Amino acid sequence: MNGFLQNFSLEGKIALVTGASYGIGFAIAVAYAEAGATIVFNDIRQELVDKGLAAYEEKGIKAHGFVCDVTEETKVQAMVAAIEKEIGEIDILVNNAGIIKRIPMHEMKADEFRQVIDVDLNAPFIVSKAVLPSMMKRRSGKIINICSMMSEFGRETVSAYAAAKGGLKMLTKNIASEYGEYNIQCNGIGPGYIATPQTAPLREIQADGSRHPFDRFIIAKTPAARWGSSEDLQGPAVFLASEASNFVNGQILYVDGGIAAYIGKQPG
């Protein structure tokens, strides 16, 4: 790799990607491995971690998997300690693990709201806090938070998710502000609508064989006129994890096919 492109290499780096047995986290971790990083990931259940390890193996990647619920601080601290002992200190953290509950707010239970905030906002705090001391000691680190279009916009039935992802945008800016002096960069990626298990209900073919109304809405609202794929996020994720972005801090990079810029197509 020539001099300039070396800035995009992740050779010798250790990356922890949370919730990365499949979906967006898996795609980002695969790209990191291809850029030279050692991959560490976690998921809630052993069978998911095993499934993830097999999927990485199929790609020729020897990943390290841990069973850990990112909302449980003692478990997260124990996982980070084990990673640092068994594999090495974490250079790159991607706070990817997330859930969504699509319930009209007036029908949503407080506990359901809290569950979404716990995974999508409290957990990125918990995991970032666990990796920061080592990054501060080494005066180097990358934290990437997977935000959302809902970091900027609301819509029906996703009040908890929008509150969490809006908070995650500001947590990103605050980590950038508080730890920039340690040469730690914290940025966000704001994916548009990506075809993963999380959005599968929004793309279900209807009983009459037609496309889901929301599917049609997103196609009309996206200048690229398509759903994104997890692979669309790989380049931006490698950039934000690499030396090439060392002076980028506190930014949310929207990878959305243009949704956030577009008023939307007139209904046909």
- What are the catalytic residues? 161
Say which entry of ligand NAP, ligand GCO, none residue 265 contacts (CB below 5 to 8 A, set by partner kind).
none
According to the binding rule CB under 6 A, does residue 199 interact with ligand GCO? yes
Residues lying near ligand NAP in the complex (CB under 6 A) = 18-19, 21-25, 42-45, 48, 69-71, 96-99, 119, 146, 148, 191, 193-194, 196-199
Residues 69-108 that bind ligand GCO (CB under 6 A): 100, 102
Helix orientation angle between 159-179 and 123-138, rounded to the nearest 10 degrees: 10
List the single partner that 45 binds among ligand NAP, ligand GCO, none, CB under 5 to 8 Å by kind. Answer: ligand NAP
CA angle 163, 167, 169 (to 5 degrees): 125
Interface with ligand GCO in residues 160-179 (CB under 6 A)? 161
Q: How far is the CB of 250 from ligand GCO (least distance, A)?
A: 19
Rounded least distance, CB 193 to ligand GCO, Å: 5
- Can you tell me the distance from the alpha carbon of 43 to that of 65, in angstroms, rounded to the nearest whole number? 8
Residues in the chain: 268
- DSSP letters for 132-172: HHHHHHHT-EEEEEE--GGGT---TT-HHHHHHHHHHHHHH
At its nearest, how many Å lie between ligand GCO and the CB of residue 104? 13
At closest approach, how far in Å is the CB of 261 from ligand GCO? 14
Residue 257, both tokens? 């096919």
**d(C-alpha 215, C-alpha 164), whole Å:** 24
Measured distance CA(170)–CA(148) in Å, rounded: 12
Nearer to ligand GCO, 182 or 217 (CB): 217
